[in-house]
A and B are shown apart, each in its own frame.
Chain A
Amino acid sequence: METQSISPSPAALVALSGDLAGAVERVAGAIVAIDAGRRRPSSGIAWDEHHVVTADHAIEDEHVTLTLASGTTVPAHVVARDASTDIALVRTDAQLQPATRASLDGLRVGHAVLAVARDDDGAVAASFGVVSSLDGAWRTWRGGDIDRFIRPDLSLYPGFSGGALVDIEGRTIGMNTWGLSRRTALTIPVTTLDRVVAQLASGGQKAGYLGVALAEVRIPPVLRERHGIEHDGAVVIVDVAPGSPGDRAGAVIGDVILALAGSRVTDAHDLQRALRGDIVGTSTTLRVLRGGEPRDLAVTIGERSRSDDD
Chain B
Amino acid sequence: MTEALAGLAAVVAAVQRATVRIADSRHGGAGSGVLWRDRRTVVTNAHVVHGRCAVVRFADGTTMQSRVVLRDTERDLVALLLDAPAPAEPLRERDAASLRPGEIAIAVGNPLGLTGAAAVGIVHRPCGRFVVADLCLAPGNSGGPLVDAAGSVVGINSMIADGLALAVPTEAVRALFA
Contact = CB atoms under 8 A, between A and B. Distances in A.
A67 to B, nearest CB: 14
Contacts of A1: 37-38, 90
A157 B100 contact: no
A166 B124 CA distance: 15
A21 B100 contact: yes
Interface stretch (A53-61, A123-131, A294-302): A123-131
A307 interface: no
B122 interface: yes
Nearest to B121: A128
A23 B10 CA distance: 25
Interface size class of A (residues with CB under 8 A): 35 or more
Interface in A15-29: 15-18, 20-25, 28
**Among B18, B148, B149, residue most surrounded by chain A Cβ atoms (within 10 Å):** B149
Contact of B150 (A7, A14, A28, A158): A14
A20 B104 contact: yes
A181 interface: no
Classify the secondary structure of B's interface with A.
Answer: loop
18 contacts: A4-B92, A6-B7, A6-B151, A10-B151, A12-B3, A12-B4, A13-B8, A14-B149, A15-B4, A22-B102, A114-B102, A123-B125, A123-B126, A124-B125, A125-B101, A125-B124, A127-B122, A155-B163
Contact of B7 (A4, A11, A124, A125): A11
Given A3-B91, A24-B101, A127 B124 contact: yes
A131 to B, nearest CB: 16
A255 interface: no
A13 B104 contact: yes
B83 interface: no
B92 to A, nearest CB: 5
Given A4-B17, A4-B91, A126-B124, A13 B100 contact: no
A182 to B, nearest CB: 18
B9 to A, nearest CB: 9
Classify the secondary structure of A's interface with B.
Answer: mixed
Contacts of A267: none
Contacts of B95: none
Contact of A128 (B10, B11, B88, B122): B122
A8 interface: yes
B89 A3 contact: yes
A233 to B, nearest CB: 43
Interface in B1-45: 1, 3-8, 10-11, 13-14, 17-18, 37-39
B103 A20 contact: yes
